[in-house]
């Protein structure tokens, strides 16, 4: 396993001292946000995690090596190069074997984090069951990864570009608990609420840590979704964002966007149609999730 992994000095040292570590994905940098906000946010998120007494480990593949922890130059490279594949479970052997560059999705990051012995991961939103999946069968590999890989994922729920109800059904079937941090309802990424309830509301980091430890102590394989609503002051009004998402979905259909291009296409269109407001909310919620994940990693260590 270690032939494939390369730890940064900071993460290697944190591991040897058994300090709390938070994994971070890189598709959000390469395919989720435009430059320069992507690189700036990646750096800010790392700083927030350090400021709360944990160590950030941004994960990506460079020249076929799975990097656990990146330098600022490597973050910059991911944020500016066009030569970076979006890497989910399916794509990992290709990018490693062909010595390419890859940015890991939630699924890809969970796999690499588990290999590296990291149990807590912060991101923006997870992938899920797409609207119309009964026709397209477009279901993110993130959900299947949550079913089998032992990593807790702190996110702001899932975007309503997805079918949130079907996403919850899929997670239930696969035994993935969705915990609401100080909320009864599933947050919908840009907004703090959705019409759906979370499985369990927990109000303290200590309780969430106890839940996670108990799941794994019971020998139950798989991840946990910790849903953390976007801060109130950064929230976008639900009816406003819903109309824009409808528009973006219509364009995706008209332009026959399929496969792994769907999510990046929708993110980019929503950003443009909101005049950048969605990007500001996205940045704020990622930072908010990083802070909670750092606290959780500290509690778990």
Say if strands 55-62 and 102-104 run parallel, antiparallel, or are unpaired. Answer: antiparallel
- Is the distance from CB of 64 to CB of 98 less than 8 angstroms? yes
Query: Cα separation of 18 and 20, whole Å?
Result: 7
- Residue with tokens 């950048």, as numbered in its chain: 276
Q: Is 22 left (phi over 0), alpha (psi -120 to 50) or beta?
A: beta
| 138 assigned to a ligand binding site | yes
Query: Cα separation of 69 and 212, whole Å?
Result: 24
Nearer to ligand PSU, 15 or 223 (CB): 223
**Residue 37 contacts ligand PSU per CB under 6 A:** no
Instruction: List C-alpha distances in Å: 12 to 5, 21, 46.
Output: 11, 10, 16
Closest approach of ligand PSU to the CB of residue 65, in Å: 20
Among the listed residues 37, 46, 114, 159, the single catalytic one is 159
Residue 79's binding partner among Mn ion, ligand PSU, none (Cβ under 5 to 8 angstroms by kind) is none
Nearer to ligand PSU, 28 or 168 (CB): 28
Q: Which one of residues 153, 208, 267, 279 is an interface residue with ligand PSU (CB under 6 A)?
A: 267
**Residue 30 contacts ligand PSU per CB under 6 A:** no
User: How buried is 175 (Cβ within 10 angstroms: 0-12 exposed, 13-18 middle, 19+ buried)?
Assistant: middle
**Residue 27 contacts ligand PSU per CB under 6 A:** yes
**Residue 263 contacts ligand PSU per CB under 6 A:** yes
Active site residue 25: yes
Active site residue 271: no
Residues comprising the chain, all counted: 301
For the window 141-160, what string marks contact with ligand PSU as x by the rule CB under 6 A? Answer: xx----------------x-
Helix then strand count (H, E) for the chain reads 13, 11
Neighbours of 91 (CB within 10 A): 20
**Residue 194 contacts ligand PSU per CB under 6 A:** no
**Residue 183 contacts ligand PSU per CB under 6 A:** no
Closest approach of ligand PSU to the CB of residue 25, in Å: 5
| 106 assigned to a ligand binding site | yes
**Residue 142 contacts Mn ion per CB under 5 A:** no
Q: Is 66 left (phi over 0), alpha (psi -120 to 50) or beta?
A: beta
Catalytic residues: 25, 159
What does the binding site for ligand PSU look like in residue numbers (CB under 6 A)?
25, 27-28, 32, 88, 105-106, 124-125, 127, 140-142, 159, 260, 263, 267
Which residues sit at the interface with Mn ion, rule CB under 5 A? Answer: 138
**Annotated binding-site residue numbers for Mn(2+):** 138
């Amino acid at each position: 396993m270690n032939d494939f992994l390369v730890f940064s000095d900071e993460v290697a040292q944190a591991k040897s001292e058994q300090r709390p570590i938070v994994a971070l994905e890189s598709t959000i940098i390469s395919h989720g946000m435009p430059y320069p906000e992507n690189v700036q946010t990646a750096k800010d998120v790392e700083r927030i995690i350090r400021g709360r007494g944990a160590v950030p480990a941004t994960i990506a593949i460079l020249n076929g090596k799975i990097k656990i922890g990146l330098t600022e130059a490597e973050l910059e490279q991911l944020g500016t190069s066009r030569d970076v594949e979006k890497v989910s479970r399916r794509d990992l052997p290709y990018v490693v074997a062909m010595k390419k560059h890859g940015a890991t999705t939630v699924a890809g990051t969970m796999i690499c984090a588990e290999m590296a012995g990291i149990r807590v991961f912060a991101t923006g939103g997870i992938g899920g069951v797409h609207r119309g999946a009964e026709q397209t069968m477009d279901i993110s590999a993130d959900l299947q990864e949550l079913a089998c890989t032992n990593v807790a994922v702190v996110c702001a729920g899932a975007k309503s570009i997805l079918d949130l109800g079907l996403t919850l059904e899929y997670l239930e079937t696969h035994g993935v608990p969705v915990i609401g941090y100080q909320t009864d309802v599933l947050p919908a990424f840009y907004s703090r609420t959705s019409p759906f309830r979370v499985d369990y509301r927990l109000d303290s980091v200590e309780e969430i840590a106890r839940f996670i430890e108990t799941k794994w102590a019971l020998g139950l394989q798989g991840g946990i979704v910790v849903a953390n609503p976007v801060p109130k002051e950064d929230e976008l009004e639900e009816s406003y964002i819903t109309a824009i998402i409808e528009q973006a979905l219509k364009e995706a259909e008209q332009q026959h966007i399929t496969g792994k291009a769907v999510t990046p296409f929708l993110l980019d269109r929503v950003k443009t149609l909101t005049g950048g407001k969605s990007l500001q909310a996205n940045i704020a919620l990622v930072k908010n999730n990083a802070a909670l994940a750092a606290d959780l990693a500290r509690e778990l260590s």
